[in-house]
Structure 1
């Protein structure tokens, strides 16, 4: 029940619930990955059941695809969709220009492809995800398994000439084994602490042989919806240059919470 949720989960739910209102029948929608995005998928599933909302969802990971199907959302591939009206996803960090770090869940490759194949990207977040400068959250870099140690060395060398505070590079693990993405790749986490020039860093890292994609989303996000634990919601539209406020009610009877 909503009353039993932690304040952070209430904030995530508030952002997800408000962002789901941007979705209209007939849309093809990119469905993000992560804890906040999971709330959004549940909110859309509730609308599908209760309002007859008709959408086609393009998930950004196998776990999102499984949840979407469980919620009664029709799932299609990006190739089938061709182009999307909207993508809604979470973020690990965002700054004042709505640049993001994503990939804490290891799905940033598919997330970036889906987001850039959309007319708009809406990010849903709690207030703790807003930062003055990106970089406190480790930056994920997806690399192919072949020669990954050489790729890591090249990444470490590239960081020497960049405006960052930290330069530690670690291989992401899943227990005692390396973490493996949906594409069968590995992830290097860059512990940079502060990124002075995200655009430069993104361009340089992606030029290194063996790197598939990094978790910096530059000039991709259009709107951020920030939820608070008391139901308040702030909507920032960087394209329109507007900031709006709203409120989401927590209804104890919502089907959304029946299996939490």
Structure 2
């Protein structure tokens, strides 16, 4: 049912927002696979002229596999729209992203878009961050800094900051930018995520956080009922 919900949300978002001659940011994750499939269907059926800018190696491969036009931010520094997924979305459209490790490039592409559209299934919706997503807020760090960043976050903000380990190889997970990921499992019920985000980003060695604040224009949730709700 979750996969059906992902496809419903992705299809609805692509159908409502993609227009001819658009430059489109393509995010990462399982829901975006359905979005790219639908985008490719529309391009072929309607003979649309669409240029795609990826957020990750996975997104780049998806674009190529579906014979879409691949570009980058050097050629297209301003995007009409970007589509991406999320690990969790709260009632204020604050997002946790980075479960797949692509948060920095996702945030760069999102910042270049006039509209960031999030596609997700019903399990990603929460009243407050941490209600559904229990793996913490991803933080990309320069490898040499990870111990210092861990210690600083735990001392200033509480909780636990864990180095994310790779699953298919020994050692830490390495991002597309050759950095490490720390997952901060917070304990605070604070909703001042903007202040928390600033505190984390000011720690030397931190590249980017998985907190996306004030960036999402609209969120599409595929529901168990077969409908799609929006926020």
| TM-score for the superposition, normalised by structure 1 | 0.83
Equivalent pair of 2:81/2:117 in contact (CA under 8 Å): yes
- Greater C-alpha Rg: 1
Equivalent pair of 1:133/1:194 in contact (CA under 8 Å): no
**Which residue matches 1:3?**
none
Distance 1:16 1:216 in 2: 22
Distance 1:52 1:229 in 2: 33
Superposition map of 1:152-231 within 5 A: 152-160=150-158, 167-175=159-167, 176-193=170-187, 195-196=189-190, 197-231=192-226
Q: CA deviation at 1:82?
A: 1.5
Q: CA deviation at 1:230?
A: 4.3
Unaligned runs of 5+ in 1: 1-6, 161-166, 237-260
Equivalent pair of 2:146/2:163 in contact (CA under 8 Å): no
Q: CA RMSD in A?
A: 1.3
**Which residue matches 1:164?**
none
| Other structure's SS at 2:110 match | helix
Distance 1:194 1:84 in 2: 36
Superposition map of 1:121-140 within 5 A: 121-136=116-131, 137=133, 138-140=136-138
2:142 to 141, 144, 149: 144
Superposition map of 1:10-159 within 5 A: 10-21=4-15, 22-136=17-131, 137=133, 138-159=136-157
Unaligned runs of 5+ in 2: none
Equivalent pair of 1:135/1:194 in contact (CA under 8 Å): no
| Other structure's SS at 1:177 match | coil
| TM-score for the superposition, normalised by structure 2 | 0.93
Equivalent pair of 2:122/2:224 in contact (CA under 8 Å): no
Note closer, same or farther for the CA distance 1:230–1:72 as it changes in structure 2 (3 Å cut). farther
| Other structure's SS at 1:209 match | coil
- Alignment size in residue pairs: 224
| Other structure's SS at 1:152 match | helix
Deviations 1:81-128 (A, max 9, x none): 120000111111111111100000000101111111111111111111
Distance 2:224 2:48 in 1: 27
